[in-house]
Amino acid sequence: MTTDAQKLSERLLTALIGATELFTVELGRELGLYAALRDRPSGPAELAKNAGIDERYAREWLEQQAAAGFLTVDGDEFALAGGAAEVLLDEGGPGEFTVGLGLVFPRVVEAFRTGAGISYAEYGQHIRHGIAAFNRPMFEQLLTTEWLPALPEVETRLRAAPGARVLDLGCGAGQSSVALARAYPAITVRGIDLDEASITEARAAAATAGVADRVTFTLGDAARIDGEYDLVTIFEALHDMGDPVGVLRAVRPRLAPGGSVFIGDERVADEFTAPADEIERLQYAFSVLHCLPATRAEDPVIANGTILRASTLLAWARTAGYENSEVLDIPNDFWRFYRLR
């Protein structure tokens, strides 16, 4: 085997180790095994009893998790490793996303052969929850503390009375909408999404957060909207829309005087390069396995995929009639931000 072939083989082996470990992490989540270990170390028999699983499987999983470094072991008792509770007890994440991609993979193979699409709903709850878990920390920790404060006049309007009206397009499970309402007590937020299951979860999230009186969710097409809004947000959704120019064009007359469109979408390179960095590799993999098939299911005008470059988005904005479009200087490893007026 040549040196290059050896390096590639080793890289694929490393990827296999990571992928299989993600499946075992999701096994721990779905069976409540991490939750059972949260309060006290346990051996196989105790874990099996507390979690309601078979003892032999419990031992194998515990040993595998310790071998992977997710658990520590002292004699016959296993405990969550440092930082594990914070990461592994959270809902969803890379493991759930990986399982979701695995479940739908035969459909992706078929789609490549036929040119058909796979609707977002068909990707199921693992993908839905995986995306939500990936984005939740950014919405909870950065949206109203770093991103919007970078636009002082927009944030001033959000804090003013009477309360601003916000439209959150492609709201998904509603985390961005809820975060906005919690940070700005005077505003009202309307979230719109095409996925019925996401809308159901979004309404439940607003109720749990105590903001359902100011946050509403509508199942519908982002290109068919009504009302007038001081701020329209689109977070990691424009690249998935089958008619992004049509959506931006529909939004423009719905902006109140002085209103803005605030977009967060993938931070990718300015042009195609190969080989690419790790983030771009991840985004391309998402595009092949999820974003492009999901958009193709919409009978799209444009099937962009995950790789939404800044030049493309700004060109869409110009075509949609926006006179002022800018890339914002907001640091983030995954997203790039834009303001359209």
Q: Residue 7's pLDDT is what?
A: 94
Q: What is the mean pLDDT of residues 289-310?
A: 96
- Given 37, 65, 88, which residue is the final one in a domain? 88
**Residue 91 scores a pLDDT above 90:** no
Contacts of 102 (CB under 8 A, 6+ apart): 23
- Given 43, 67, 88, which residue is the final one in a domain? 88
289 and 172 housed in the same domain? yes
Q: Is residue 62 part of a domain?
A: yes
Q: Is residue 94 part of a domain?
A: no
70 and 132 housed in the same domain? no
- Token pair, residue 28, equals 């721990």
Number of compact structural domains in the chain = 2
Q: Is residue 105 part of a domain?
A: no
Q: How confident is the model at residue 92 (pLDDT cuts 50, 70, 90)?
A: low
56 and 137 housed in the same domain? no
Q: Is residue 96 part of a domain?
A: no
- The mean-pLDDT minimum among 127-131, 214-218, 220-224 falls in 220-224
- Token pair, residue 74, equals 């002292």
173 and 310 housed in the same domain? yes
For residue 271, the Cα-to-chain-centroid distance in whole angstroms is 23
Residue 162, preceding peptide bond in cis (omega within 30° of 0) = yes
Q: How confident is the model at residue 125 (pLDDT cuts 50, 70, 90)?
A: very high
> Residue 67 maps to which CATH number?
1.10.10.10
Let me know: does 99 contact 26? Beta carbons within 8 Å: yes
Q: Is residue 107 part of a domain?
A: no
Q: Is residue 100 part of a domain?
A: no
- Token pair, residue 154, equals 């927009």
Q: Is residue 128 part of a domain?
A: yes
Q: Residue 222's pLDDT is what?
A: 86
230 and 304 housed in the same domain? yes
What is the spatial distance between Cα 339 and Cα 334, in angstroms, rounded to a whole number? 17
**Residue 86 scores a pLDDT above 90:** no
pTM for the full model?
A: 0.93
Residue-wise pLDDT tens digits, 242-261: 999 999 999 999 999 999 99
189 and 254 housed in the same domain? yes
The continuous run of DSSP H or E covering 217 comes out as: strand 215-219
What is the spatial distance between Cα 18 and Cα 292, in angstroms, rounded to a whole number? 24
Select from 126, 211, 222 the least CA-distant residue to 175: 211
Q: Is residue 74 part of a domain?
A: yes
148 and 248 housed in the same domain? yes
Q: How confident is the model at residue 142 (pLDDT cuts 50, 70, 90)?
A: very high
139 and 255 housed in the same domain? yes
- Residue 16's domain comprises 3-88
- Given 66, 88, 110, which residue is the final one in a domain? 88
- Token pair, residue 325, equals 């479009």
133 and 279 housed in the same domain? yes
3-state secondary structure of 71: strand
**Percent of the chain residues topping a pLDDT of 90:** 92
Q: What is the mean pLDDT of residues 281-304?
A: 96
Q: Residue 109's pLDDT is what?
A: 98
Cβ-based burial of 17 (10 A; exposed 0-12, middle 13-18, buried ≥19): exposed
48 and 135 housed in the same domain? no
127 and 220 housed in the same domain? yes
47 and 126 housed in the same domain? no
